[in-house]
Structure 1
Amino acid sequence: MDHVASSAPDARSVPVCYRHPDRETGVRCTRCERPICPECMVSASVGFQCPECVHGGGPAPSGGAGGGTARPMAAARPRTIAGGTMAADPRLLTKILIGINLAAFLVQLAVGESFTQRFELVGRAYTPLLPGIQGIAEGQYFRLLTAMFLHGGYVHILFNMLSLWWIGGPLEAALGRARYLTLYFVSGLAGSALTYLIAAPNQPSLGASGALFGLFGATGVLMRRLNYDLRPLVALLVVNLIITFTPGFGIAWEAHVGGLVAGVVAGYAMVHAPRRNRALVQYGTCALVLVVVAVLTLVRTGQLT
């Protein structure tokens, strides 16, 4: 009891699910305000409810002695474990990202190779379909971003979009929209920067894999924080890394590694940041990762020019 009393602020910083006491969570039922883990969440019109409230057995919000004048506790909007605001559609940004990737792929099919060569990641190369020397080293830094939304074929985009739906959706619900989107772009840019730094300057690269591996890494950090079994995720990640480094697949392993490292770093800040100054720690860490991205990009540009 002495230990619990002495560390009360830390113990209360992240409550545990009332149905699974071994699982920490930052989400509460919008009706009864009891903390619930992702397994217990049932989507409601706004936020999530616990199974008991959904089936009518949960406690209703108290109205006070007067019988109708007190405000319900639902006025305090439920928060995710990372401090984000719960949304009515917890997968909205994941759907939008998938839509953007699909739209870009349709443009690739309609316009042809000239569109892909204009926006894929390439350090410095002469492209026959475009005039002159093209690449990031020529000041086309937008390629670090646009390459994240291009794909090399039907199998490529199908695999990546399925992965984004399976991994991104639950992670968006757990982090909140702003933090999830920040994590996605920070991981993708980190993957692009490492590819630019290491790969041959005339070797093109494209795909959402860097951002996806960042989501992989952040999901692992989140599952560890909630004491979930990491073995299925680790097995899936190992399989992906084996494929990544297998000769003949033509995969830009640099994007995968860069995205994974950035995702682990940013994800750790998202779910482990202290309640006090939480947003500052979270977004400050992401900003530091972007500083590293900028430094790597400038170093490589200096080498190539």
Structure 2
Amino acid sequence: MSTDPAQAPAPEVPMCYRHPGRETYVRCTRCDRPICPDCMRVAAVGHQCPECVRDGNSTVREPRTVLGGRVRNRPAVTLTLISLNVLAYLAELVSPTFVGRFEMLGGMPARGRLPGIGVADGEWYRLITGAFLHVPMDQGGLGITHILFNMWALWVLGPQLEHVLGRARFTVLYVLSAIGGNVLLYLVAPLQPAVGASGAIFGLFAAFFVVGRRLGVDTRGIVFLIVINLVFTFTFSGISWEGHVGGLVTGAVLAVAFAYAPRRRQKAVQVAASAVVAGLLVVLTAVATALAS
């Protein structure tokens, strides 16, 4: 018996699995599902569907530095910190009361009819906001010099540390170093006001040295920079040595934890060290507040 070719069923036209109304003769090289031009993703061989591309990317390990930071091309945190400092400085120029409202001041709690001021009276934000302020312009050339030096140091050191540490660790390093400097000032001289990112910058100095030693690079340049700045700190009046030393010590402690954490428990050790340092700063702040009462 012969079969009439005219009566044979027509072959089924494949339709895109994501767009059923679209004909297509292209299939995903991984799952063999039909895909239309809108769903095609160029692969090493042929094309893949969006799901296979997503599944493939989820199994690819992100490149990381030896200290655990994700490899990034843009120093976003450094640029953000510089922008915040510059914006705060512009606010100082616009409002004469801006510095007094946000500068670092340990102060004293309220007593009887005397109003309280500073961190001791609950203005905890001063521990960090003071690190984004600088000497006002109306105090001669020191005003612009203060912020220019700190921002220069942040721009030189920040991108390199942010790259090797990663954005999260770098942010923790900067913020806790800034707070560490202000906490030491609060302990030693609670009634002395202070402004500046110098505590955070000294923390970066210390971290640059520690990380440099860990990676086996020449650290003589940063040692010279630390020494010369400490000489200036203890030589000239009007400079908060407490902020500089506090930031330097805090940055060094964090950097050692970040740089020398065991590889297998790297993230856990780094997170734990950050939490311990933050907790210690909280305790020291509470102690300083109790002493001011």
Counterpart of 2:128 in structure 1 is: 145
Counterpart of 2:70 in structure 1 is: 85
SS at match of 1:75: coil
Counterpart of 1:210 in structure 2 is: 199
Amino acid at match of 1:93: V
Indicate yes or no: 2:159 matched with 1:174: no
Q: Report the CA distance between 1:125 and its aligned residue.
A: 6.2
Does the 8 Å CA contact 2:69/2:163 hold for their aligned counterparts? no
Q: Report the CA distance between 1:202 and its aligned residue.
A: 2.2
Does the 8 Å CA contact 2:180/2:246 hold for their aligned counterparts? yes
Residue of 141, 149, 152 corresponding to 1:162: 152
Amino acid at match of 1:191: G
Indicate yes or no: 2:169 matched with 1:197: no
1:87-102 equivalences in 2 (<5 Å)? 87-89=72-74, 91-102=75-86
Counterpart of 1:117 in structure 2 is: 100
Amino acid at match of 2:269: V
SS at match of 1:133: coil
Number of residues paired by the alignment? 232
1:23-62 equivalences in 2 (<5 Å)? none
Indicate yes or no: 2:234 matched with 1:263: no
Q: Report the CA distance between 1:68 and its aligned residue.
A: 10
Residue of 168, 185, 191 corresponding to 2:175: 185
Does the 8 Å CA contact 2:202/2:244 hold for their aligned counterparts? yes
The CA RMSD over aligned residues, in Å, is 2.3
Taking structure 1 as the reference length, the TM-score comes to 0.72
Q: Report the CA distance between 1:133 and its aligned residue.
A: 3.4
Q: Report the CA distance between 1:227 and its aligned residue.
A: 1.2
SS at match of 1:183: helix
Q: Report the CA distance between 1:272 and its aligned residue.
A: 1.1
Q: Report the CA distance between 1:301 and its aligned residue.
A: 0.6
CA distance in 1, matches of 2:66, 2:195: 33
Taking structure 2 as the reference length, the TM-score comes to 0.74
1:181-218 CA-partner distances (Å, limit 9, x unpaired)? 1111111111110111011x321011111111111111
Q: Report the CA distance between 1:290 and its aligned residue.
A: 1.1
Q: Which has the larger radius of gyration?
A: 2
Q: After the TM superposition, which segments of 4 or more aligned residues of structure 1 sit over 3 Å from their partners?
A: 66-69
Structure 1 stretches lacking a partner, 5+ long: 1-62
